[in-house]
Structure 1
């Protein structure tokens, strides 16, 4: 993937539209489609500032335990710059700070991602100092598990970040409750989303070869397929899925997609089951694997949202998730099944109910209808509406004080 120097221009050049700057830590595969969508709609003048170029080239992903190089372009189609690029190459903290300050002053409104990262906190402080309203987007929920002084400190920081933002960009119901808890001035629905159309089309293209592909993996074609997608680490609880499938006998087959520290243990536990561990799958090939499944299971003990649920639903899979998964109230409730975290018996009950519901002829349409509410377009509209309102209010205040 090419890493350009300087600023790359796409999208609106209309000087009457507000300049919306999005501060991002690094390149993330889920966010690039959103940035392209905002740039192409031309309702704001978008520019994304990356604090580092991580993700633009091969990097070590600790969760997967692999060197990862994304096989889709994460930079094309929207204006961007890298704040860590000094004259001699990679910049130091001073260079990034100076570049960040200058970049914020070029914007009318800035999007800050959360309040936990020190650079995001720095960005919010610099935005206020420069007289630029900022929009807050993060994964925080209303209630935190931890108590004590750390929780109190976190609440102080969160409260200050929310009170001083022009608006909160809510990713879903639990995040909206967080903003309400700290009395945010305004909220705009900007859901966590993926490129639903890309996943849907690619999965539909691959589906005619489903039986042959299952046979290649040594899996039966006469039963529903449960699919796990994610990093194979303890907090994702993939072993719970294996245990549940074993308890269900020959009712389902299992595909584990992903890699990580507990892969060997997962593969060991899968022995004797109609199961296949396919390892890490890159972005362009993921929809083809989803096309093999009927039910997605995400049993995590901690999951701020769970974008694999969006991906799988866009490919037509029915979601079954633990009650620790952040998207459960939005994407799963009233459609798929939610079970108690760590309770394999409850997971078996949820999977059994999900399997039974697969015979409902109206299910595919309901899955698509639900996930389409959480689309890239819906997210772009939230960004734009919040940015335009914040910029208008800022201009009105300047005129009153002039």
Structure 2
């Protein structure tokens, strides 16, 4: 990485620490004076706290609300915290009240404001008029914009951001850990579903796909489910009704350290979401050498996952998913080729090093814009 001035002080306002960004921030901190400001502590795993990783970590108080698709937070104390941190550049990662206060602070103090987002083109279509108006105002005026994927960059430019101020910092997982688990893995389940058991992620559709595959193959198949949520009981009840066709292996939420082996033991990942800005489960599957069947509305579809190359990008029709999964599971050479292509693709373009480089380049762009 190169190009950013030495020790530029950058404050990033974000929702909460997440495992797929922490290694990137540690790399960014080698070149920038990085101060992470979070609305809340980690939501799921307290081990994700980031103190001691080479950058400043600050957690706000205030009021927070977490819905199925939306997170809201309001804390006016972010104003005084930013005054103490006194960053050269402020980066916000959304439009919740706390972040809007941060934008006002940057404008009041004459500091460049940059944007970071993992929003997708499909997600953009569901936003309210107010949300879209905010984007049309903020994006063209941002000193730099950092997106998680090609769809995010498309959104930035759709709202008027110049292409030369848009930078890619892809969402990543620890590819090496998943690849290592794949070296000695044996097939323990034909199908895998990973994610919260909530309606828009469609775990019940994953079960329906497994039933269709079992009928097509003429034998019982195993569906491994990683995750928990309000549909857990409904999924168990539905599985009991089709137990002759599908063995449901519900493992609940699993810590990060266990995921590589659990992915590597599967034949295919089913990702039939109705709405997803990106979908880190696709990165995890690809890194483990597991092809991905993904809904066309997920941000990773057509970006990380290419139809017919390292998986399938599919419309919402159940029959299409059953056909795709059955065809692959009956063609072991093709399944292996797609798995190898998935691993090669994610290792080539979706790494923490590339993500950190994109962020640092964006900050260098901000600094160049400030020079007289």
Q: Does 1:154 align with 2:128?
A: no
- Closer/same/farther in 2, CA of residues 184 and 290 from structure 1, 3 Å limit: same
Q: Does 1:359 align with 2:341?
A: no
State the alpha-carbon separation in 1 of the partners of residues 222 and 200 from structure 2: 23
Aligned length: 343
State the alpha-carbon separation in 2 of the partners of residues 177 and 279 from structure 1: 35
Residue from 184, 191, 198 that aligns with 2:177: 198
The secondary structure found in structure 1 opposite 2:13 is strand
Q: CA RMSD in A?
A: 2.5
Residue from 296, 307, 314 that aligns with 2:269: 296
State the alpha-carbon separation in 2 of the partners of residues 229 and 283 from structure 1: 12
Q: Does 1:107 align with 2:87?
A: yes
The CA deviation string for residues 50-102 of structure 1, in whole angstroms up to 9 with x for no partner, is: 233x21xxx5xxxxxxxx4344554331312325379xxxxx94433311343
The CA deviation string for residues 144-169 of structure 1, in whole angstroms up to 9 with x for no partner, is: 444xxx73222211111202211211
Which is worse superposed, 166-175 or 18-27? 18-27
Residue from 221, 234, 254 that aligns with 2:223: 254
Which residue of structure 2 aligns with residue 245 of structure 1?
A: 210
Task: Give the structure-1-normalised TM-score.
Answer: 0.78
- How far did 1:298 drift? 0.8
The secondary structure found in structure 2 opposite 1:337 is strand
State the alpha-carbon separation in 1 of the partners of residues 121 and 338 from structure 2: 32
State the alpha-carbon separation in 2 of the partners of residues 155 and 72 from structure 1: 32
Which residue of structure 2 aligns with residue 75 of structure 1?
A: 51
- Closer/same/farther in 2, CA of residues 16 and 326 from structure 1, 3 Å limit: closer
Q: Is the 8 A contact 1:318 1:354 kept in 2?
A: no
- How far did 1:356 drift? 4.6
State the alpha-carbon separation in 1 of the partners of residues 61 and 157 from structure 2: 38
Q: Is the 8 A contact 1:199 1:314 kept in 2?
A: yes
Q: Does 1:349 align with 2:339?
A: no
Once the two structures are superposed, the pairs formed by residues 298-317 of structure 1 within 5 Å of their partners are: 298-317=271-290
The secondary structure found in structure 1 opposite 2:333 is coil
Which residue of structure 2 aligns with residue 328 of structure 1?
A: 301
Q: Is the 8 A contact 2:119 2:277 kept in 1?
A: yes
- Closer/same/farther in 2, CA of residues 245 and 364 from structure 1, 3 Å limit: closer
State the alpha-carbon separation in 1 of the partners of residues 13 and 89 from structure 2: 11
Which residue of structure 2 aligns with residue 382 of structure 1?
A: 358
Q: Does 1:141 align with 2:116?
A: no
- How far did 1:280 drift? 1.3
Residue segments in structure 2 that go unaligned for 5+ positions in a row: 63-73
State the alpha-carbon separation in 2 of the partners of residues 138 and 84 from structure 1: 20
Which residue of structure 2 aligns with residue 51 of structure 1?
A: 39
The CA deviation string for residues 226-253 of structure 1, in whole angstroms up to 9 with x for no partner, is: 1000001111101111111111122742
Q: Is the 8 A contact 2:26 2:53 kept in 1?
A: yes
Q: Does 1:340 align with 2:315?
A: yes
State the alpha-carbon separation in 2 of the partners of residues 70 and 269 from structure 1: 33
Which is worse superposed, 300-309 or 77-86? 77-86
Q: Is the 8 A contact 2:220 2:247 kept in 1?
A: no
- How far did 1:344 drift? 1.1
The secondary structure found in structure 1 opposite 2:28 is helix
State the alpha-carbon separation in 2 of the partners of residues 24 and 154 from structure 1: 18
State the alpha-carbon separation in 2 of the partners of residues 262 and 237 from structure 1: 9
- How far did 1:20 drift? 2.4
- Closer/same/farther in 2, CA of residues 313 and 76 from structure 1, 3 Å limit: farther
- Closer/same/farther in 2, CA of residues 18 and 353 from structure 1, 3 Å limit: farther
